[in-house]
Amino acid sequence: AQSVTQPDIHITVSEGASLELRCNYSYGATPYLFWYVQSPGQGLQLLLKYFSGDTLVQGIKGFEAEFKRSQSSFNLRKPSVHWSDAAEYFCAVGVVTGFQKLVFGTGTRLLVSP
Amino acid sequence: DTAVSQTPKYLVTQMGNDKSIKCEQNLGHDTMYWYKQDSKKFLKIMFSYNNKELIINETVPNRFSPKSPDKAHLNLHINSLELGDSAVYFCASSQDMSGYGYTFGSGTRLTVV
């Protein structure tokens, strides 16, 4: 069955430091991969997505992610974290079985310390 | 100009009541979805509709009945609400069943007391 694992429930990063959020997926076919961010009390905002092509994907707000097929990973990175980046981050894989549904990981809460 | 809008944003109701959540998208998308986010923030798909036709029901209890009067609207009606139904419900749409252009609404927080 398809699944997404985000091994870190929460991460604390100092403002200005670099960030990497881990995501591993299990899916038999070529995956469509997504990262979403959810601020407290807010909806889901798409940060970036990978469908095909270049395995390094650039997104909004200075985020990027790298698809590594050999490791079944799609880790999210940002070189310098801002206090406004504190939020919940969700990795998802798009599963196409006649239609596409998103299978989400359990999320990683990012805390930013001064 | 919200692309996917849900109403209401918050809903507090008593056990046993029946309630509806409405969703509308102005993106011209053919496919719409309902997702549920539980108290542990876990997100899971509930339903998918394509051009007003039900495509998938992910083992959701019969108390949940989606209705799509046209392809721009997908409403969720819940009968005999239970405490465990408390969650945030997200509507989403995509251009077609391939999932291109997946867009989420801002969510409806349902609290059953």
What pLDDT score was predicted for residue A82? 96
Residues 6+ positions from A70 with CB-CB distance below 8 Å: none
Secondary structure (DSSP) of chain A: --EEE---SEEEEETTS-EEE--EEE-SSPPEEEEEEE-TT--EEEEEEE-SS-SEEE-GGG-EEEEEGGGTEEEEEESS--GGG-EEEEEEEEEESSSEEEEE---EEEEEE-
Q: How confident is the model at residue A99 (pLDDT cuts 50, 70, 90)?
A: low
- CB distance A102–B97 less than 8 Å? no
Nearest CA of chain B to the CA of A96: how many Å?
Answer: 7
**Intervals of chain B under pLDDT 50:** none
For A9-66, write each residue's pLDDT tens digit. 999 999 999 999 999 999 877 788 999 999 887 888 999 999 888 999 999 999 999 9
Q: Test A99 with B44 for CB contact under 8 angstroms.
A: no
A17 has a chain B CB within 8 A of its CB: no
Q: Is B12 on the interface with A (CB under 8 A)?
A: no
B43, B53, B103, B109: best to mutate for the A interface, most A CBs within 10 A: B43
Asked if B106 reaches chain A (Cβ–Cβ under 8 Å), the answer is yes
